[in-house]
Amino acid sequence: MAGKRRTTEKTTQPTHSRRGAKASHGLPNLARPHVRQQAVRRRIVTYVSIALMALGLGIMAYPFIPMFRYEVFKPAPELLYQTRFTALAAGDEPIAPDSEVTAGEINLDQVAQVDPATVKPAPSSNRFVIPKIGVDVEIVEGKDQEAALNRGIWHIPQTSTPDQGGNFVLSGHRFRFLSGNRTLYLLDRLEKGDPIIVFWKGKEYDYVVRSEKIVKPTAVEILNNTEKPQLTIFTCSPLFSTKERLVLIAKPV
């Protein structure tokens, strides 16, 4: 009998183990929805974190995109209007006898070609165009500096105009989260001989860069009138700083 009892005990133990295993195996089923919710939350947190990091990197990189595009891709000069510079490049029109600039001093390769498919008529509004760096922006007048600069290039009050001669002074933002064609972000890339076009009261005025300098913000003498016509353009310098002013002087063609 003792032998039989021991045999019975041995054979019944696996039965209890199987029942216990079934019971323990059933416990995770009760917790599984909770585990799934935690996994979903972790994925959401991960995706949001990645999105925020990408957004932050994008915001940090955005100010440098115009420089990267210009230096890496070397975009061709942009000129959407048929201008006198185009005629000069083709030899269809001579330089005015009283001009301070000769044809050889103008970088005409920047304005030699205009795509007939995209050419526009001369604008009726006052506009400022620099083909080399893709600037094509409205010239804004008025005493409200910030409002004017946020719209385009500001004509400094009390300075001359192209039709009057003298010193025509313009100022623009270097960077303000505006499109590249509306700021002077790349103004420091201009060189002597680079063309600039001004449309003023329905007439075209052509200039070429003659000189560049860095001055203090207090250098108000750049606003002084001049005996001969000239275009003065200034913006903040260095990039992302208001410490100094980058000034370009351009002479009429």
13 assigned to some structural domain? yes
Same domain, 147 and 32: no
Distance of alpha carbon 195 from alpha carbon 130, whole angstroms? 7
68 assigned to some structural domain? no
Distance of alpha carbon 30 from alpha carbon 232, whole angstroms? 78
CA dihedral 175, 176, 178, 182 (to 10 degrees): -50
Same domain, 54 and 81: no
The DSSP bridge pattern shows strands 127-130 and 230-237 to be: unpaired
- What's the CATH code of the domain at 157? 2.40.260.10
Q: What is the mean pLDDT of residues 23-36?
A: 59
70 assigned to some structural domain? no
Residues 6 or more apart whose CB falls under 8 angstroms from that of 215 comprise 222, 234, 244, 245, 247
pLDDT, position 1: 47
Q: Look at the alpha carbons of 56, 146, 241, 138 in this order and tell me if their dihedral is positive or negative.
A: positive
* Boundaries of domain holding 12: 2-63
114 assigned to some structural domain? yes
23 assigned to some structural domain? yes
69 assigned to some structural domain? no
> Is pLDDT above 70 for 204?
yes
pLDDT, position 113: 72
Residues 6 or more apart whose CB falls under 8 angstroms from that of 113 comprise 86
Same domain, 52 and 79: no
Q: What is the mean pLDDT of residues 77-94?
A: 83
Same domain, 174 and 106: yes
Distance of alpha carbon 221 from alpha carbon 245, whole angstroms? 12
Q: Are 83 and 92 in contact (CB under 8 A)?
A: no
pLDDT, position 79: 82
> Is pLDDT above 60 for 138?
yes
**Number of domain units in the chain:** 2
Same domain, 32 and 151: no
**Predicted TM-score of the model (pTM):** 0.74
Residues 6 or more apart whose CB falls under 8 angstroms from that of 211 comprise 192, 248, 249
CA dihedral 30, 34, 37, 41 (to 10 degrees): -160
pLDDT digits (tens, 9 = 90+) for 139-168: 999 999 999 998 999 999 999 999 999 999
Same domain, 30 and 118: no
Same domain, 79 and 151: yes
